[in-house]
Chain A
Amino acid sequence: MMPKRCNACGGEYEELTAEGLLYFHSCPPITRVRVIRNGQDQRVDLADLQPSDVVSIVREGEQLEIAVSELRAGDQRIGDVTRERPDRRDENSATIGGEEEADDRMPRRRRRIKARGRGVTDVARRDPDAP
């Protein structure tokens, strides 16, 4: 059985654990950072954070607003939140609603899962001896 990569979050996982139990992936939430960008107070995805964005930090006990490019090691960014990922995948079985999906691991070969999201892609198994 090939490992899978989730097309929504990029997470990789094995569908069957070494002990013979099925593994059901669900996407982690996205970290959203509070920034001032173009003069507007807003939240952006962590992956979209720009060096020119202004973030709120705590430095030596004092709250400051500085550009991302000016962050120092001891600074603590504040105002982060998380939110669910759009098109998130959740392979756990749905008791109400959900979406039907083929599942070759199950005796009846089909299953209702909570959310198909953007689907999955087979990926090559990693060589544990690779550097």
Chain B
Amino acid sequence: MMTPPDAARLLPALAPHGIYVAGDEFLLVTSLNALASVRLTVSGRMLTREGRLTPFVESHIPNSDRTAATSAIKLGEGWLQEITAIATGAAPTLGQTFVRVDLVRGEGAGQTVHATLLQGTATAAQRLAWPGSPIDTTLESPGALRSLAGSDPAAGAEIAETVPTGARWRLQSLRAALVTDATAANREVAIAFDDGTNTYAEAHSGVNQAASLTRQYTAAIAGIRGAAATGTGILLAIPAVILPAGHRIRTSTTNLQAGDNWGAPRLLVEEWLEGA
């Protein structure tokens, strides 16, 4: 227990913002992360009762599926002077790795958070600091831009990509090829957005694709609907909807035949972390 004489003796070394940490309190590091191989390095200094400045450096390993990972940093009794956090091991872009550092006491259901000291997006180049950094939410940094390949469906199946748990997406563009079989029928492609069950937006190509043809479809925000001059590329406009986790982006093909084959889609999405 820190006594008034202790405090008076340590005053010259104490940072003006320093906070007293009791022996049973500790730092709880919580992360949300989407990139593989990321580590977070959390470091800082404690001023002990004996007047010694003691640095600490701890490594925190986030999950890479956007679910929360936590770890504790035991500090002992003294005055917390400062904390910094930075991403190491990989180079997340803004919006891919999020960290919060709380001062807490206790475990499990009895745990009490006394202060949130750090909260924001960490990268390998931009450090979060207490004091100094604002307490941000995951949605305050720009969305991370991702170019990803989706699943290549079997013949007769539509494309369907699900927004991952803990993410929020805005589809910027999607490109995929449809190869039609020899069955006589005009196919018309639409891009549909649903909540996992119910469709809430659908954008149609307005162009027919007959039997035994290959067509490249590009869906983009602010795209202009119509066929390309080559006759093989078809552009369709999609709404700039924001999709929470579990919602889907999928094709909906009128007159789809069992032998029609969609190729793997390539998506450009803007992604925010929401965590789970």
Residue ranges of A at the interface with B (Cβ–Cβ < 8 Å): 6, 9-14, 16-31, 46-47, 49, 71-77, 80, 82, 90, 92-95, 105-108, 111, 114
A-B CB contacts (within 8 Å), total count? 135
CB distance from A59 to the nearest CB of B (A): 11
A73–B64 touching, CB < 8 Å: no
Contact of B211 among A9, A18, A28, A73 (CB under 8 A): A73
Taken residue by residue from 50 to 66, chain B's Cβ proximity to chain A (1 for < 8 Å, 0 otherwise) reads as 00000000000111111
**B117-157 at interface with A (beta carbon < 8 Å):** 146-154, 156-157
Is B239 in the interface zone, CB < 8 Å from A? no
The distance in angstroms between the C-alpha atoms of A16 and B162, with both chains bound, is 16
The distance in angstroms between the C-alpha atoms of A80 and B67, with both chains bound, is 37
B63–A108 touching, CB < 8 Å: yes
A17–B149 touching, CB < 8 Å: yes
The distance in angstroms between the C-alpha atoms of A90 and B166, with both chains bound, is 14
Q: Which of B146, B147, B158 has the most CB of A within 10 A?
A: B158
CB distance from A125 to the nearest CB of B (A): 12
Residue ranges of B at the interface with A (Cβ–Cβ < 8 Å): 34-37, 61-67, 69, 90, 96, 146-154, 156-162, 164-166, 183-186, 210-211, 245-246, 248, 250, 252, 254-258, 264, 276
**Which residues of chain B are within 8 angstroms of A74 by Cβ–Cβ distance?**
186
A-B contact pairs, 23 of them (CB 8 A): A12-B152, A13-B150, A13-B152, A16-B36, A19-B148, A21-B34, A24-B164, A28-B153, A28-B157, A46-B258, A47-B258, A71-B185, A75-B184, A75-B185, A82-B252, A92-B164, A92-B165, A92-B245, A92-B246, A94-B165, A95-B276, A105-B36, A107-B64
CB distance from B251 to the nearest CB of A (A): 9
The distance in angstroms between the C-alpha atoms of A72 and B90, with both chains bound, is 55
B156–A106 touching, CB < 8 Å: no
A26–B186 touching, CB < 8 Å: no
Known: A106-B65, A107-B61. Is A27-B160 also a contact (CB below 8 A)? Answer: yes
